[in-house]
Amino acid sequence: MNLSRDTSIALVHGLLDLLPTGDQVDVAVCPPAVYLHDVGAALRGSHLMLGAQNMHHAAEGAFTGETSGAMLTDLGCRCVILGHSERRQLFGETDACVNTKLLAAISHQLIPIVCVGETLEEREGGTTEQVIATQIRGSLAGLTAEQASTLVIAYEPVWAIGTGKTASPAQAEAVHAQIRTLLNELFGSSVGETLRIQYGGSVKPDNAAELLSQPNIDGALVGGAALKAESFAAIVKAAT
Ligand code: PGA
């Protein structure tokens, strides 16, 4: 719930100036739902993809205030973030709820970006591995290997989101490797090895290259540093 309509559009124009071509890194911009139309118009025809921050699982119906997958595709969305830690912590979303949204997103040909991550208490209590495994198994329950092949996973330690604290490259890589092993186990290595696992949590231009150079870190889900075209573009350049 950051920026305005005008500053969101200006952000896209800034990105298009700074990232005129898109042949090496896939880049998506995921504005608040009310700005999807205008941001989508600003990036139409470019290499930038449009994504949403949330959706409802039902195809249509009496769900006042909600947005369906069909509405997102109608606006040109290619992807949708699901189960962000703020959705889980502030809006009560569970793994089961993320799972229903995930299946709906896939049925609308949207790429789901499924977020998982442990809290500080869970990390300090030594349960990170267990928490991540439970979130992955629950959020991805019932998916076929073919459905799973369309996913992006985002590992976002809750203690690193918007706090300025970043997981060290080694800490992040350890969890990414665990997620990869679990995905291989659930869907076979031909799917697990190719799925993108993004890291999120205070990714900035000065730490992006080191994080992204880890073998199992395939991309970044960026919050604060994506609100300015210069820092967003610098992170994309670090990914090349
Ligand atoms: P941050 O946010 O980059 O500001 O930590 C990440 C997120 O909200 O997913």
Task: Select from 138, 142, 140 the least CA-distant residue to 151.
Answer: 140
Q: What is the pLDDT of residue 165?
A: 84
Report residue 163 as tokens. Answer: 């706090």
**Order of strands across the sheet that contains 196-200:** 28-29, 49-52, 79-82, 111-116, 152-155, 196-200, 219-221
pLDDT given at position 21? 87
User: Is this model's pTM higher than 0.95 or not?
Assistant: yes
Q: How many CB atoms lie within 10 A of CB 226?
A: 21
- Per-residue pLDDT reduced to its tens digit, 3-25: 999 999 999 999 999 998 877 89
Residue reference for tokens 């300015």: 228
List the domain boundaries for the chain. Answer: 5-238
User: Is-catalytic flag, 66?
Assistant: no
Does ligand 1 come within 6 angstroms of the Cβ of 131?
no
List pLDDT tens digits, range 182-216. 999 999 999 999 999 999 999 999 999 999 999 99
CATH number of the domain located at residue range(s) 5-238 in this protein: 3.20.20.70
pLDDT of residue 142: 97
Residue 182: both structure tokens together = 């679990």
* Residues in the chain with pLDDT values less than 50: none
Query: Is residue 156 flagged as an active site residue?
Result: yes
Query: Residue 158: CB within 6 Å of ligand 1?
Result: no
Q: Does ligand 1 lie within 6 Å of residue 161's CB atom?
A: yes
